[in-house]
């Protein structure tokens, strides 16, 4: 097994950018789940249209299920930004819950909560989509429009490159 100095490793990671890099127009950023490529779209769209746009590029909306992820994606975009959070059933027969795109139940979202003003607690009854704004998760109704971020995690690609050197 070959042993690399820190400097060689750095050069190799740079060199890997031709195969593991971000698509044109997308920026890399290191987050809780490794390196992502992301781009912010400021034209507000309905959740389903924003989702379809990301999916067409084999990308996804950010998935927030921890404080670390909320903080990271707030850093990516502090304004209103759709995230993977849909109030729906998973497979037929399962419960109506807040879920990510794979149908997994989101348990650790930090919803907006104002103990002084009950009507400002989120999500509220008719909310079906989630978005982040200013460090909290908020709920939105069916036809609401928001800006969004499409992203792709490239950490597996980077890891494979390092393994195969």
Ligand X SMILES: *[C@@H]1O[C@H](CO)[C@@H](O)[C@H](O)[C@H]1NC(C)=O
Shortest separation between residue 132's beta carbon and ligand X, angstroms:
21
Q: Which stretch binds ligand X (CB under 6 A): 3-11, 75-83, 115-123, 141-149?
A: 141-149
Instruction: Confirm if 120 and 112 have CB atoms less than 8 A apart.
Output: yes
By CB under 6 A, tell whether 141 contacts ligand X: yes
By CB under 6 A, tell whether 142 contacts ligand X: yes
Residue 77 to residue 36: CA distance in whole angstroms: 14
Beta strands in the chain (DSSP E): 27-31, 34-46, 81-88, 97-99, 129-133, 136-140, 145-153
Instruction: Confirm if 132 and 123 have CB atoms less than 8 A apart.
Output: no
By CB under 6 A, tell whether 49 contacts ligand X: no
Shortest separation between residue 111's beta carbon and ligand X, angstroms:
20
By CB under 6 A, tell whether 19 contacts ligand X: no
In the complex with ligand X, the residue whose CB is nearer, 78 or 141, is 141
By CB under 6 A, tell whether 143 contacts ligand X: yes
Quick one: tokens of 113? 């909560």
User: Which chain residues interact with ligand X by CB under 6 A?
Assistant: 141-143
């Amino acid at each position: 097994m070959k042993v690399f100095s820190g400097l060689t490793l750095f050069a190799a990671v740079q060199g890997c950018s031709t195969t593991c890099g971000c698509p044109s127009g997308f920026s890399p950023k290191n987050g809780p789940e490794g390196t992502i490529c992301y781009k912010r779209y400021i034209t507000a769209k309905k959740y389903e249209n924003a989702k379809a746009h990301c999916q067409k590029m084999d990308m996804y909306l950010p998935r927030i299920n921890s404080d670390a992820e909320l903080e990271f994606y707030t850093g990516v975009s502090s304004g209103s930004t759709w995230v993977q959070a849909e109030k729906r059933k998973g497979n037929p027969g399962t419960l109506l819950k807040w879920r990510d795109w794979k149908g997994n139940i989101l348990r650790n979202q930090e919803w907006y909560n104002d103990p002084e003003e009950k009507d400002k607690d989120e999500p509220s009854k008719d909310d079906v989509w989630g978005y982040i704004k200013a460090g909290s998760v908020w709920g939105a109704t069916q036809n609401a429009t928001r800006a969004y971020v499409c992203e792709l995690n490239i950490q597996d690609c980077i890891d494979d490159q390092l393994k195969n050197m």
